């Protein structure tokens, strides 16, 4: 789940940004795990997931992934990821997962204090924690912080800074809405961890003069 650990931003704008990854293990429970993964998909959807997908699907739900076809394909898969933008929805999903007793390993990604608190409320005891240590090295070659907040929501680096600037310029010129811009930015991220709700909020809160400066660099 390390590709979802490096989301960049403030504590405030990361509070409502979570990923849940459920994955079967080779040689343990991967064989014939399709029905269990479909049940997990139902739980994600019934808990108001913002987006979902997996690397084998080729695209995420918000990029046009067909729900029925994707559910069928889980017979040949090993895991599924979903993104959430509300703490209570994550708690709801974990409670349902606990009750379902599916035996599939589940990882929750988010601010560590929030994740620990949610797990406690759900009656779960985390046994492992992975932490991002931040950015080290030659930071000058990285895009500006406002762009990093968006591109790091795709852990496989499929969303380029140039695409973000292009979309921001269209929003600035009122060619598209912030919601449409967020949907355009989610399409390259096939595994479903791009949080369009957070993206839209980040774009809407950006001052107009700042948008103009960033888009024209």
Task: State the SS3 of the chain.
Answer: CHHHCCCCCCHHHHCCCEEEEEECCCCCCCCCCHHHHHHHHHHHHHCCCCEEECHHHCCCHHHCCCHHHHHHHHHHCCEEEEEECCHHHHHHHHHHHHHHCCCCEEEEECCHHHHHHHHHHCCCCCCCCCCCCCCCCCHHHCCCHHHHHHHCCCCCCCCCHHHHHHHHHHHHCCCCCHHHHHHHHHCCCCCCCCCHHHHHHHHHHCCHHHHHHHHCC
Q: Residue 155: which domain range?
A: 141-215
Give domain status of residue 136, yes or no: no
Give pLDDT, residue 19.
95
Give domain status of residue 132, yes or no: no
Give pLDDT, residue 35.
93
Q: How far apart are CA 107 and CA 129, in angstroms?
A: 9
Q: Do residue 117 and residue 145 come from a single domain? A: no
> How far from 48 is each of 45, 114, 181, CA to CA, in Å?
5, 18, 21
According to DSSP, the residues that pair with 79 across neighbouring strands are: 23
Give domain status of residue 45, yes or no: yes
Q: Could you read off the pLDDT of 78-88 as tens digits, one per residue? A: 889 999 999 99
Give pLDDT, residue 78.
84
Give pLDDT, residue 217.
36
Give domain status of residue 133, yes or no: no
Q: Do residue 92 and residue 30 come from a single domain? A: yes
Give the chain's mean pLDDT: 89
Q: Do residue 187 and residue 107 come from a single domain? A: no
- Name the maximum alpha-carbon separation found in the chain: 55
Q: Do residue 153 and residue 109 come from a single domain? A: no
Give pLDDT, residue 213.
41
Give domain status of residue 56, yes or no: yes
pLDDT below 70 — which residues of the chain? Answer: 1-2, 207-217
Give pLDDT, residue 134.
86
Q: Do residue 160 and residue 193 come from a single domain? A: yes
Give pLDDT, residue 179.
95
Give pLDDT, residue 31.
80
Q: Could you read off the pLDDT of 104-127 as tens digits, one per residue? A: 999 999 999 999 999 999 999 988
Give domain status of residue 128, yes or no: no
Give domain status of residue 126, yes or no: no
**What is the rounded radius of gyration, in angstroms, for the C-alpha atoms of the chain?**
18
């Amino acid at each position: 789940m390390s590709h979802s650990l490096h989301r960049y931003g403030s504590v405030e704008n990361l509070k409502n940004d979570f990923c849940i990854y459920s994955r079967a293990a080779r040689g343990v429970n991967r064989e014939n795990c399709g029905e269990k993964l479909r049940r997990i998909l139902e739980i994600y959807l019934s808990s108001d997931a913002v987006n979902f997908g997996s690397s084998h699907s080729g695209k995420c739900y918000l990029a046009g992934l067909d729900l029925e076809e994707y559910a069928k394909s889980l017979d040949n898969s090993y895991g599924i990821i979903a993104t959430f933008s509300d703490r209570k929805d994550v708690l709801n999903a974990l409670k349902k997962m606990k009750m379902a007793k599916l035996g599939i390993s589940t990882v929750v990604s988010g601010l560590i204090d929030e994740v620990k608190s949610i797990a406690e409320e759900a009656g779960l005891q985390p046994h492992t924690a992975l932490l991002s240590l931040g950015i080290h090295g030659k930071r000058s070659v990285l895009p500006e912080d406002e762009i990093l907040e968006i591109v790091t929501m795709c852990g496989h680096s499929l969303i380029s800074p140039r695409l973000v600037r292009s979309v921001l310029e269209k929003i600035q010129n009122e060619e598209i809405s912030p919601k449409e811009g967020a949907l355009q930015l989610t399409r390259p991220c096939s595994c479903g961890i791009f949080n369009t709700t957070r993206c839209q909020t980040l774009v809407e809160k950006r001052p107009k003069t700042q948008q103009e400066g960033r888009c024209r660099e």
